[in-house]
Amino acid sequence: MWPNKDRREQKQLHPSNQSERRKVEKGATHGAIARNQRLKSYFGHHRLVAKESLLRLLAAPFSSLMTWLVIAIALTLPVGLYVFLQNAQQLSQEWDDAAQVSVYLEQKINEKQGRKLAQHIESWNAVQQVRYISPDDALEEFKEFSGFGDALQYLNENPLPAVVVVSPRTNGVDLESTQALLTRLQKLPDVEQAQLDLQWVDRLFRIMALGQRMALTLGLLLGVAVLLVVGNTVRLAIESRRAEIVVVKLVGATDAFVRRPFLYTGIWYGLGGGLLAWLLVNVVIYWLSGSVAELVAAYDGDFGLSGLGFLATLSLWIFSALLGLLGAWLAVGRHLSKIEPR
């Protein structure tokens, strides 16, 4: 906790750094030098305490690893769910590109009228592309894909209406504007029915919104769990160094000085847990990617699992370190003030 002999001692005798030397030569006021020195020793102490509290954790690798693993598992669950949802969203975006509205025209409409209507629809801003399918073409298609081709021979006339297939002009996922287009198409005269083929995309999105909320809830709950784990571990660390705390308080240590090593301990616990969680998530992704590739190949798809991006990884680490700091802070606030020299 309290630093070793400072090895920079020799260096400090002769200011190595150019600007430092210049400052001294210019003859900065005594007060400025003193303040500068105080700041330097303050940050120097932070650095040393950070190093020593890490070394202290590494000196008891087994128990530290246990704590790190508990934190990592607690973080892996929500982070894993987040990655899963990211992938699902990406996958559904590809499907959404294929979202089309089928407009079934009334039977009485002939081909010329139908094509004119299709041209009219194509002129709309919200529409990317339009394809007219005459009743005859529709019948051919039906024969080919449905497998009922033979049965159709018994029909006297073609029961199928003409269809205009409308591709909306949307950027990625935009169910609302697609829905608006659908309503507008439905209101057209001569239109029997307009149908959004990928209504299930909407349902999928609702499910994913639910999933996101679940990930958030899980994250909150497990975040509290991490706080408690770090808090309890730091509390034990404080207990085991009670005698030492009393001594340093008697030789004039401030509360901040006594607190510092424990706060760094919390940061290291959190950060270590975050790193392990990152590793766990990536191992799971690697493990699943094989089966996903096979599944996608079976559907003739083109999709690969993506992992945590750079920003998400960075946020995970920062967040976990902050969580550790907060947990330590709570424990320190509760337990350190009780240890006073008696």
Partner 1 sequence: MINFEQVTKRYEDGYEALSELSFHVAQGEMAFLTGHSGAGKSTLLKLIMLMERSTRGKVVVSGRDLDEIKRRKIPYYRRNIGLVFQDHQLLFDRSVYDNVALPLIISGAQPREIGRRVRAALDKVGLLSKEKLLPLALSGGEQQRVGIARAVVNKPALLLADEPTGNLDPELSAEIMRLFEQFNQVGVTVMIATHDLSLVARMRHRILTLQQGRLMSDGVV
What does the binding site for partner 1 look like in residue numbers (CB under 8 A)? 2-6, 8-9, 12-13, 37-38, 40-42, 44-45, 243-244, 246-255, 257, 340-342
Give the residue with the Cβ less far from partner 1, 338 or 342: 342
Give the residue with the Cβ less far from partner 1, 116 or 242: 242
The least distance separating partner 1 from the CB of residue 250, rounded to whole angstroms, comes to 6
Q: How far apart are CA 49 and CA 242, in angstroms?
A: 18
The least distance separating partner 1 from the CB of residue 1, rounded to whole angstroms, comes to 9
Count of residues in the chain: 342
Q: How far apart are CA 106 and CA 234, in angstroms?
A: 75
Contact, 36 vs 24, CB < 8 A? no
Q: How far apart are CA 51 and CA 97, in angstroms?
A: 53
The least distance separating partner 1 from the CB of residue 4, rounded to whole angstroms, comes to 6
Task: Report how far apart, in Å, the C-alpha atoms of 43 and of each of 47, 263, 271 are.
Answer: 6, 15, 21
Q: How far apart are CA 233 and CA 124, in angstroms?
A: 65
Give the residue with the Cβ less far from partner 1, 197 or 255: 255
Give the residue with the Cβ less far from partner 1, 5 or 187: 5
Residue 12, SS3 per DSSP: helix
Q: How far apart are CA 194 and CA 76, in angstroms?
A: 45
Q: How far apart are CA 307 and CA 289, in angstroms?
A: 10
The least distance separating partner 1 from the CB of residue 26, rounded to whole angstroms, comes to 20
The least distance separating partner 1 from the CB of residue 313, rounded to whole angstroms, comes to 36
Name the maximum alpha-carbon separation found in the chain: 108
The least distance separating partner 1 from the CB of residue 325, rounded to whole angstroms, comes to 23
Give the residue with the Cβ less far from partner 1, 8 or 120: 8
Give the residue with the Cβ less far from partner 1, 3 or 290: 3
* DSSP-derived secondary structure for 31-67: HHHHHHHHHHHHHHHHHHHHHHHHHHHHHSHHHHHHH
User: Nearest Cα to 68, choosing from 323, 330, 326?
Assistant: 323
Give the residue with the Cβ less far from partner 1, 61 or 149: 61
Q: How far apart are CA 43 and CA 49, in angstroms?
A: 10
Give the residue with the Cβ less far from partner 1, 235 or 260: 260
The least distance separating partner 1 from the CB of residue 290, rounded to whole angstroms, comes to 49
Helix-helix angle 255-298:30-59, to 10 degrees? 50
User: Nearest Cα to 51, choosing from 262, 264, 254, 327?
Assistant: 264
Give the residue with the Cβ less far from partner 1, 2 or 104: 2
The least distance separating partner 1 from the CB of residue 16, rounded to whole angstroms, comes to 13
166: enclosing H helix or E strand = strand 163-168
The least distance separating partner 1 from the CB of residue 262, rounded to whole angstroms, comes to 16
